[in-house]
Every structure is written in structure tokens, then in C-alpha cells.
Amino acid sequence: MPASNMRKTIATRLVESKVTVPHFYLEIEVDAGPLLALRAQVNEAFGESAKVSVNDFILKASAHALRRVPAVNSSWMGTSIQQHAAANVSFAVAIEDGLITPVVFNAHAKSLFQISQEAKALGAKAKAKKLQPNEFTGGTFCVSNLGMFGIQRFHAIINPPNGAILGVGTTVKKPVVNEKDEIVVGHRMALTLSCDHRVVDGAVGAQFLSALKEILEKPLLILG
């Protein structure tokens, strides 16, 4: 079966990324209970007019974490590192013959509801193959979420010139030990950060994941 032009482009870029970009991976587990509870409350209160997804929270939280640890919001330029002022967060969308990454520009300056509406519109255009080039280029960080397929964790391939990409797994119920040393049912989500070691060192990537974990576990901070 002949490859489409999109599949050829994806193949070329992914091989280039794995061959030329020194990947390393960091993983952290997040207590998703507060996020799920807040999302349920928001969706019940506002209904279909302002329904938000878990991925909307992750996009918003990622933008906040990039502002806290700006070194992750960077690109390798050959002889220098470009640190981006804006958190332009892209997200992977599966389409018929591949995938595409529409961008939410200036996500750090947008509310959760603005990001949600924009992501829905971009996702619909992506599936209809109506995205314009300026809508899927210019991202500085990418989120790839396979949680809806039941995948618990995975290592995503970096999309150059981004310095990192976040792999998001599904939320799993499991026994956890709470602050009172009691074993209770917890909702845990695994996040895996793929880093370009030319740009992001281990400690920097760990700081980013720590910031992201704190934000997601206190989601009221990003509700606006």
C-alpha cells in the first residue's frame, strides 16, 4: 500500500528525531483524584456549554509548568539554545493516515475554558483535514495523550524543534498509602517526559515534572 505524503513526512521527521536527538525519559505519578473531582463539578455546573476534558487541564497545567521551569520551553539551534517567551502548547491528534499536532498559542495567558474551546475547534479541524499550516506549526512543547485508549504509560518521540514532549497515560485505580498511613483507593496517572538532552538536563526535567504534578494535584489554581 503506497504511503501518503503525510505518512512520508511523519516517517522522515520521526527517524530524524530518533537519530539526531538524544532522548532520555523521566516519569512521575500524579494523584488525579482532585482533578477528576473538580472536572466533574465544573461539567455539572456549566453543562455542555463549557465542558472540559482531562486533557484541557493537562494543556493548561503544562503551560503553567513551562513558565515555572522555562528551560524546558526551549529549542536546540545548533550552536545556541533558544528559550521561548510564550508557551505555545501543541497536542497530538490521531487522524486517518497519521497524526498532527495543532497548537494552542500563548496557552499560559489563556483560561482553562479558552483552551478547552480552542482545543475542541482545532481537534475537529484536524480530523476534517482542514487545519492551516499556521495552526500546526510554531509549537514550543507538545502533549501526547493516549489515556483514552487505556494506555498506562509510554515514551513519546520528540517533535523537533521542541525540547520535550509529555506522554500522558490513563488514570488507574490502585491502592495507595495516604498521609495517615492508611491504604485507600487512589486515582493515579503516569506522566512521562521525553527530553532532548542537548537542551534539558535530568534535574531540569525533574523540576518541570514536579511543578506539573503540584499544579495538577491542586487544579483550582488553573481553573480560571
Q: Which residues are catalytic?
A: 197
Longest dimension (CA), the chain: 59
Q: Report the C-alpha gap between 152 and 79 in whole angstroms.
A: 37
CB 43 within 8 A of CB 202: no
Q: Which amino acid appears at position 163 of this protein?
A: G
Q: Report the C-alpha gap between 117 and 221 in whole angstroms.
A: 19
Q: Which residue(s) pair with 186 in the sheet?
A: 174
The CA-CA-CA angle for residues 15, 138, 190, to 5°, reads 65
CB 72 within 8 A of CB 204: yes
Of 111, 116, 57, 64, residue with least CA distance to 87: 64
Q: Which amino acid appears at position 65 of this protein?
A: A
